[in-house]
Amino acid sequence: MDTQERTQRRGVVVVTGASAGLGRATVRLFAKHGYDVAMLARGKEGLEAAKKEVEAVGRKAIYFLVDVADAEAVENAAARTEEELGEIDIWVNNAMNSVFSPVKEMLPDEYKRVTEVTYLGQVYGTLAALKRMLPRDRGSIVLVGSALAYRGIPLQSAYCGSKHAVEGFFDSLKTELLHDKSKVKLSMVQLPAMNTTQFSFVKTRLPNKPKPMGKIYQPEVAAEAILFAAKDGRREIFVGCPTVEAIVGNKIAPWYADYVLAKTGFDGQQTDIPEDPNRPNNLWEPIPGDHGAHGTFGAEAADFSPELWLSMNRNKIYAGALALGGIILGAYATKKKKNA
């Protein structure tokens, strides 16, 4: 990528949960594609490092130490973003939190906290974005979901419940935008298991260290889907075959998913390494340091999804198939004419 491409401005994006994991990968990708970036998160060291990465590719970056569970703080960050960077073109709601624990051991405050961050954080971000985008009748909002928005799994009830709530909120808002004939785009990206930092930070009551369940993808795969969703405005994007299988399979036979997850869902979310029950977690406060985008499962993680590539390029594939069909039919017609 040459200097001119790196520094050409394409707009302003806001990314929540931007200091680490998927949010960090998303920030990097948008900056490389020419966007100035406003970043919201709680971890100062990670935000400082992300800011330098954005500036290294020739784009502007600002950050706000914000807990997305605080609606006023999110709104203030949006206002300051437009003052310092200009009109917000894209808003990515990515921030999340979770607790790995059986329901019978969960505490009310833990459910409240995960819901406020993972669900209400997306609502508050969307409200701040709509406040600015609706009067201009343009802009794009991306909600970051999960296969677990459709199919709950054991040991993550607070997270699954929050992602289910995001899906319901998304459906409601989508219909309202259509009713109003608004040109504001709204998309939701449903994720598979990913190699992010959350598994080292999440609060857990499991005897062994938590891990992503099933096939694991690098966060850059999901970041590509988020960038595509923001530009294309497609209603929903499923990242990776496991996401498609989980969502479609649950619609066909949820009882079978219950059975399989009861058998595999406990061991499948744990490594063989004992966990320190007293290790720090990020449920209430951020863990200091710059933790980057990747977790500790890189050796198992895929950096490409054929399913996602096909989904993102389906229009080109359809056009190519139609063109090829036209050539074949033309050749057949010519041959038939000559033989007549």
Tell me the catalytic residues. 159
Task: Give just the sign of the alpha carbon dihedral 192, 196, 202, 208.
Answer: positive
- Give one word for 256, left, alpha or beta, with left for phi > 0 and alpha for psi -120 to 50: alpha
Instruction: Please give the single-letter amino acid code of residue 110.
Output: E
- How far is 122 from 163, CA to CA, in rounded Å? 10
CB-based contact 99:159 (threshold 8 Å):
yes
Q: What angle do CA 300, 99, 91 make, to 5 degrees?
A: 75
H helices of the chain, in order, are 3-7, 21-32, 44-56, 71-84, 108-115, 121-136, 157-179, 198-201, 219-232, 241-252, 254-264, 306-312, 314-339
- Give one word for 289, left, alpha or beta, with left for phi > 0 and alpha for psi -120 to 50: left
- How far is 253 from 185, CA to CA, in rounded Å? 32
Among 97, 94, 139, 144, which residue's Cα sits nearest to residue 116? 97
